[in-house]
Amino acid sequence: MKKTKLALIYDFDKTLSPKDMQEFHYIKSLGYDNPVDFWKECDKFSRENNCDGILSYMYLMTMKNKDLTRSQLIEEGKYIEFYKGVKTWFKRINDYGKKHNVDVEHYVISSGLSDIIKGTEIAKEFKKIYACSYAYDKNGKVLWPSRVVNYTMKTQYLFRINKGVLNETNDEDLNSSTPDTEKYIQLENMIYFGDGSTDVPSMKVVLQNGGITIAVFGDDSKRKNAEKLYSDKRASFVVKADYSKGSKIEKIVQGIIDTTELKNKLNEYK
């Protein structure tokens, strides 16, 4: 029986990790006692300059540290903490997929910084990391934002995964017509994990094309955000961000893998 590819696609901050990646260490290194003060400055800059919020935080990160380098950002990844079970999640799900004739691939689509994510201990688990990035000079010092991933731009990367056009600079193949039978991973074979309003466009695209979306929350104070995604018909499931063995989220994904295997078997009779 032919194997089916299943894409598990994650937002990063507050989906795999309990807070924004800059809050673990970087903002503190700039002299802030409370990360909220940094984000307030970003919001103020956005309003005063009619600036995209993601570009605002990228700008202030470099203005507060004008010697910021790629190696420093990668180093920041070592400070990132994860929800329970995340570190062993990928192998468990991959192994379960193999037992059920399903090839599982993991992707990140985040408005955070790609180089910080690349510095984390789970970076190796992802086939591709799509996130904001900087261009650097020959010494690795930040020059300029090279890529911005805001909430609407996230959807572009769903179609890159769909077509297997993973190189961000390859727009020609991305926009060319591709028969559904030649798509790399069907949209109906995607599971999108998110935590809030910035994930709405991506969740909508996945759901409208037959895929599954999972809204996660870290603690009860964040539960309302996730439940709103469900009540607004953006999320298929609402679960606590516990990725440990036997957790609800694991059982859901295992059930999706089981269903995918069954579809494969039924398709053999067509």
On average, the pLDDT of the chain sits at 95
* Tens-place pLDDT, residues 203-260: 999 999 999 999 999 988 788 889 999 999 999 999 999 999 999 999 999 999 999 9
The Cα 105–Cα 5 span in angstroms is 7
Angle at 192 between CA 111 and CA 175, to 5 degrees: 75
* Nearest alpha-carbon partner for 21 in 72, 105, 77: 77
Instruction: Assign 246 to helix, strand or coil.
Output: coil
Phi-psi region of 109 (alpha: psi -120 to 50; beta: other; left: phi over 0): beta
Residues 6+ apart with CB under 8 A from 268: 1
Angle at alpha carbon of residue 140, lines to 171 and 19, rounded to 5°: 75
Q: Which two tokens stand for residue 35?
A: 């990360």
Query: pLDDT tens-digit profile of 6-51?
Result: 999 999 999 999 999 999 999 999 999 999 999 999 999 999 999 9
pLDDT at 269 over 90: no
Residue 94: what pLDDT? Answer: 98
Task: Write down the pLDDT at residue 85.
Answer: 98
Q: Is 126 left (phi over 0), alpha (psi -120 to 50) or beta?
A: beta
SS3 content of the chain, % helix, strand, coil (to 5): 50, 20, 30
Q: Cα–Cα distance between 154 and 200 in angstroms, integer?
A: 10
Q: What are phi and psi of 182, to 5 degrees?
A: -105, 5
Domain range list for the chain: 4-19+82-267, 22-78
- CATH architecture of the domain 4-19+82-267 equals 3-Layer(aba) Sandwich (3.40)
Length of the chain: 270
DSSP 189: G
Strand 4-10: give its sheet, edge to edge. Answer: 142-147, 128-136, 102-113, 4-10, 190-194, 212-217, 237-240
The tens digit of pLDDT for each residue in 69-108 reads 999 999 999 999 999 999 999 999 999 999 999 999 999 9
Question: What is the C-alpha R_g of the chain?
Answer: 19
Q: Where are any strands of DSSP class E within 114-211?
A: 128-136, 142-147, 190-194
Q: Can you tell me whether residue 225 is helix, strand or coil? A: helix
1 pLDDT band (50/70/90 cuts)?
low
Check residue 219 and report its DSSP letter. S
Give the integer Cα–Cα distance in Å for 28 and 18.
Answer: 17
CA distance 10 to 73: 20
The single-letter DSSP state of residue 126 is -
Strand partners, 17: 13
Q: Is the pLDDT of residue 143 over 80?
A: yes
Spatial distance between the Cα atoms of 165 and 254, rounded to a whole number of angstroms: 27
- pTM value? 0.96
